[in-house]
Amino acid sequence: MNHGRTVFAQIIEYISHNEFRRCVERYDGDLRVRTLTCWEQFLAMAFAQLTYRESLRDIEVSLAAHRRKLYHSGFRSLVRKSTLADANELRDWRIYADFAQTLIQIARPLYSDSDLGLDLQGTVYALDSTTIDLCLALFPWASFRRAKGAVKLHTMIDVQSAIPVFIDITHGKIHDVAALDHIVPEPGSYLVMDRGYMDFARLYRLAQAFTYFVIRARSDLQFQRRRSTPVDKSVGMRSDQTIVLTGPVTSRRYPAPLRRITYYSQEIDKRFVFLTNDFFLPSLAVTEIYRRRWQIELFFKWIKQHLRIKRFFGTSPNSVKTQVWIAVAVYLLVAILKKQLRLDQSLHTILQILSTTLFEKTPVQLVFQRYDEQIQIAHSSNQLELFDF
């Protein structure tokens, strides 16, 4: 690495400028643009995510403080808050959505060696949504409840890698199950969902596409048992049944048999009932697949705590979607960086280190090595000395 280049410039090299340019050209993003190209807009917003900026003014002042290093970090000139606000308002958010998809294709293979501890042939995906609250006075288009605005982040992640493979940003009133209409089923894969996605017409469509699903059943499910398989109750299993739906609507929407599995968790004193269309997987493995659904909850918690998707720099739908997609791109960039540099630190720690070193002219690998050395010194200094010479 060149010692004269900033850490920011070095980490941005891990994403493809050519791919970004193709996304911009697809939507004419730089058409008649004189200052602040889409690339510079992305850099400014990525900087805001990496350094926890609170407003457009904060971004402007913070970048201006490093004006002598901006050119070598990809900026042609100083970033003005009014220009950045206009860019967020007018530049098509799909530019950044498409670019994030290219980063997903880079990140997923890097985590292919992660072990789920399950002997499965197909990939396990978790589907869920999270609500992002908005001030109704500032975001009147996002009316959710009487005095509250919101948008929903519908997300499907690859459980093995914790990398999102599908994201859809919608109005807060859109039901979770609608996300199933936009997902392309992958034959042989497993899709794990909570009972909010219980729609038998959509589930039957997944089954016809040879996609397995694992979903929690509702307590009012109408069904008839066809057969039962013995289970090991010592591990928490209670039943493993083949059923058919008997409800007047559900039996028509899902005319094929289903597998109903009951599991009792002694740790939390709770009973779970799952439905799946996989009749060959061991019943305990089905419960373990559902347990992996927690991965998506951790993903939502992480991005809400460590990225700027709860406070927005603009109030239009385009600004909100632009900021969310760039936040996702930053998450993917950090994930790529972790694997490419073979870092042992967590994603959060990597983000913290970058937040204070972006404009240092130090080889990026050395930045993380220095952090490890400082931690070792801090730990050793806490040890009591037997003799003090």
Q: List the pLDDT tens digit at each of the 389 positions of the chain.
A: 445 789 999 999 998 899 999 999 999 999 989 889 999 999 999 999 999 999 999 999 999 999 999 988 889 999 999 999 999 999 999 999 999 999 999 999 999 887 777 778 889 999 999 999 999 999 999 999 888 899 999 999 999 888 999 999 999 999 999 999 999 999 999 999 999 999 999 999 999 999 999 999 998 999 999 999 999 999 999 999 999 999 999 999 999 999 999 999 998 999 999 999 999 999 999 999 999 999 999 999 999 999 999 899 999 999 999 999 999 999 999 999 999 999 999 999 999 999 999 999 999 999 999 887 777 666 554 544 443 43
In a domain, 59, yes or no: yes
- From 280, 301, 327, the end of a domain falls on 280
Same structural domain, 73 and 25: yes
Range of the domain at 53: 7-95+314-375
Residues 204/210/216/222 CA torsion (nearest 10 deg) = 40
Given a contact cutoff of 8 angstroms between Cβ atoms, the answer to whether 172 and 156 are in contact is no
pTM of the model: 0.90
Yes or no: say if 111 and 143 are a contact pair by the CB < 8 Å rule: no
Give me the pLDDT at residue 183, please. 94
Cα separation values, 283 from 187, 221, 263, Å: 21, 20, 9
Does residue 12 lie within any of the structural domains? yes
Q: What letter represents residue 4's amino acid?
A: G
**Boundary residue ending a domain (280, 305, 322):** 280
Q: Kindly state whether residues 270 and 208 are assigned to the same domain.
A: yes
Is 56 inside a domain boundary?
yes
Q: Residue 2 falls within a domain, yes or no?
A: no
Q: Checking phi first, is residue 248 left (phi over 0); if not, alpha (psi -120 to 50) or beta?
A: alpha
Q: Which of 280, 305, 337 represents a domain boundary (last residue)?
A: 280
Residue type (1 letter), 260: R
Q: Tell whether 293 is covered by a domain.
A: no
Q: How many CB atoms are closer than 10 A to CB 376?
A: 10
- Let me know if residue 83 belongs to a domain: yes
- Per-residue burial over 103-140, b = 16 or more CB atoms within 10 Å of its CB, e = otherwise: bbebbbeebeeeeeeeebeebbbbbbbbebebebeebe
Looking at the fold, whether 273 and 327 belong to one and the same domain comes out as: no
Please tell me whether residues 30 and 91 are part of one structural domain.
yes
Mapped onto helix, strand or coil, the DSSP state of residue 164 is: strand
Do residues 30 and 81 both lie within one domain?
Answer: yes
Q: Are 28 and 81 in a shared domain?
A: yes
Residue 52's identity, in one-letter code, is: Y
Coil, helix or strand for 365?
Answer: helix
User: Do both 19 and 84 map to the same domain?
Assistant: yes
- 276 and 331, same domain (yes or no): no
Q: What angle do CA 104, 110, 114 make, to 5 degrees?
A: 110
Q: And the tokens for 165? A: 């493979």
Total domains in the fold of the chain: 2
Res 120: pLDDT: 84
pLDDT (0 to 100) of residue 378: 60
